[in-house]
Amino acid sequence: MLKYKLQKFNYITFCLFAAALLAVSITGNCQVVKDLNTISTVKCYKIAVCDWMILKRQKIGSFELVRELNGDGVEMDMGALGLRDSFDNKLRQPHFQQLFLQKAKEYQLEVPSVAMSGFYAQSFATRKNYRELVEDCIRTMQIMGAKVAFLPLGVQCDLKKNPELKAGLIERLKVIGDMAVKAGVIIGIETSLDAGEENQLLKDINSDGIKIYYNFQNPSVSGRDLYKELRMLGKDNICQIHCTDTDDVTLPYNKRVDMTRVKKILDDMGWCGWLVVERSRDKTDVHNVKKNYGTNIDFLKSTFNK
């Protein structure tokens, strides 16, 4: 008798559930569907800010400021490098580890990525202790829960201007790619190459631990087709995006990058992830952090999360 009642209850429950699904399919634009679509979109794109660009490089105040600016996360830098043997990294110390984690939780912010911005000026191709520097970054990522490292192949590793560095650089990227895979993270490289050349570079490296950290500024400055490049690279080769242009105007007034078109392409590709604000400051008021970054964050949220 009990078994019969349970079977009857399950059958009734199934019928009710099926009727609910039918009602949703008939109404088409049901509020439930709208809500689910909204939730999906909100989860797809999150907005972070580079701490060094808001003058808060490895400073605890970065979290409070980014929360005030309505961001979702902070791209933390490893600290200055210059001619030092190592990054000026506070996160080696347990006191700062606890403090930064506490502040991130307090302000409900994530740390999606850790940047080695020192390599904008220094040469990753010639640093003898490059392994140790990347190990330091990976440890910091693990402490902060970040899944992506940002490695710019800057002025001294510009493969357009210094093609002779390519073979040696590929070998180094293979090494750190293996390190990243073992740690369960990704190292995103920024290059001066176009999308076709970057695809070939990734094939030459042949590591799941190395992907492209795409920067809209590069095709904009070089006169390349940003929209075509996104499609060429595809969702699996782009780990994260610096979603800004050069310093001139803030994003709502930028005519070189159509963010609505960018969103459609990323949607069509099925790409989801972090859009990180690096530049696009008003050149007439470049030091006004709150105005520049608040404007850019609001614009990106209104464009990508609508």
The ranges assigned to domains in the chain are 47-210+220-239
Q: CA 153 to CA 193: how far, in whole Å? A: 10
Q: For the whole model, what pTM was predicted?
A: 0.86
Q: CA 30 to CA 134: how far, in whole Å? A: 50
What is the CB neighbour count within 10 angstroms for residue 60? 14
194 contacts 224 by C-beta, under 8 angstroms:
yes
Residues in the chain: 306
Rounded to 5°, angle at Cα 50 from 115 and 142: 40
Q: What is the arithmetic mean of pLDDT over 52-65? A: 98
198 contacts 173 by C-beta, under 8 angstroms:
no
Q: CA 68 to CA 71: how far, in whole Å? A: 8
Q: What is the arithmetic mean of pLDDT over 12-38? A: 41
Task: Please say if the pLDDT value at position 76 is more than 80.
Answer: yes
Quick one: pLDDT at residue 20? 44
Residue 27, Cβ density class (10 Å: 0-12 exposed, 13-18 middle, ≥19 buried): exposed
56 contacts 76 by C-beta, under 8 angstroms:
no
**Reported confidence tier of residue 33, pLDDT bands at 50, 70, 90:** very low
Q: CA 226 to CA 101: how far, in whole Å? A: 36
At residue 275, what are phi and psi to the nearest 5 degrees? -105, 120
The residue type of 196 is: G
The residue type of 5 is: K
Residue 221: enclosing H or E segment and its boundaries? helix 217-222
Quick one: pLDDT at residue 7? 45
The label of the residue with tokens 């994260």 reads 240
**Reported confidence tier of residue 83, pLDDT bands at 50, 70, 90:** confident
- CATH number of the structural domain 47-210+220-239: 3.20.20.150
Rounded to 5°, angle at Cα 197 from 196 and 201: 120
Task: Please say if the pLDDT value at position 15 is more than 90.
Answer: no
The mean pLDDT of the chain is 89
202 contacts 177 by C-beta, under 8 angstroms:
no
| Percent of the chain scoring above 70 in pLDDT | 86
